[in-house]
Structures are given as structure tokens and as C-alpha cells.
Amino acid sequence: MADENDDLIPPSKPLFPVTADDIVDNALQSLDEQQAREVTKKAADEVVRIAVEKRKAEYRTDRAQEEMRNLINNANLLDEKVGDYKINSTFETATGTTSVEIKKSKTNFTLIVGGLMALLLVILIFVFLKG
């Protein structure tokens, strides 16, 4: 009995679910000659399109690399000449967009140090007067 049941469903051929590949295979077999030719042409066009897009993307990466190097040089020049600066830059790369923010703020640092020293002085005066 068990053998009979086994024969009903061949092990290599599941009845359900039909895979996405099966659906595409069936659809391909149902196409007429003209449609099949159009499909082959479109598939070839897509391969070329993707290759062209990849080449364009590689070019964008090279250009972004060059622009990033320029940004580093400009930021380092600024760093030597001025205390405070903030640079925002955006690069179109192969895979998307890179945003960079470079900043240095000596004024803020000086203010914080000055503030802390003033506070310390006030505390010392307070302690001295109390003592």
C-alpha cells in the first residue's frame, strides 16, 4: 500500500508549488517564433545596457576619487590658514551619493577652555573666601 502511494507522487516532481522557474519555462515554451526572437533580442539588449551602466558607474567612482582628493587638499590648506572651517561636499559615485562634512572649530575649543578656567577660578575664590 505504501509503495502504491509512493508511485502516485514521483519523488522528483512535486505537484505543488510550481517554482518561479517553472512558470517562466512554461511561458517561454508558449511563445511563438516572433515573440521568442523579440525575447532573445531584449535579453541581449539588457546585457549590453547593464555593461554600459557599469562602465558609467566606474567612471563616476574614478571622478569621485579625484574630487575627494581635491577636497582633502583644500581642507588641509584651510586647516593651515584658518582656525575655524566647515566644508560640506557631495559626490555622485558608482553606487549612490557620498556626503562629507569636514570641520574644525578652534573658537569653540577656546571658549570651552576659557569657560572651564573661569569656572575653576570662581570655585577657587569661593573656597578661599569660605576658608
Partner 1 sequence: MALSVVIVLAVCLTTFVLWNRSRSRTAPRLTRSQENANLVKVLLELEEEPREQLFTLYQEQFGTGAARYARQTYQKWKEGTVRPNKQTFRRFLLNLPHVMNFDLKCEVLRELREAYCARDTYEVTVTTDNWKQTLTPMVQSVFEKASTAELPQSISRRLTWLASDDVTVANAILAESQARETANALTMLEKEFSNIDELLNNMQGTGKVTHQLKLPLGTIILNIRKGKRDG
Q: Are 102 and 70 in contact (CB under 8 A)?
A: no
Nearer to partner 1, 42 or 111 (CB): 42
- Which of 12, 17, 99, 130 forms a contact with partner 1 (CB under 8 A)? 99
The C-alpha angle with vertex 127 and arms to 108 and 113, in degrees rounded to 5, equals 10
List CB contacts of 74: < 8 A, sequence separation 6 or more.
Answer: 87
Listed ranges 5-13, 99-107, 109-117, 122-130: which one lies at the site for partner 1 (CB under 8 A): 99-107
Rounded CA-CA distance 40/99 in Å is 41
Q: Cβ 89 to partner 1, closest distance in Å?
A: 10
All cell numbers assigned to 97: 551619493
Interface residues with partner 1 (CB under 8 A) are 20, 23-24, 26-28, 30-31, 35, 38-39, 41-43, 45-46, 49-50, 53-54, 57-58, 61, 64-65, 68-69, 71-72, 75-76, 79, 85, 93-104
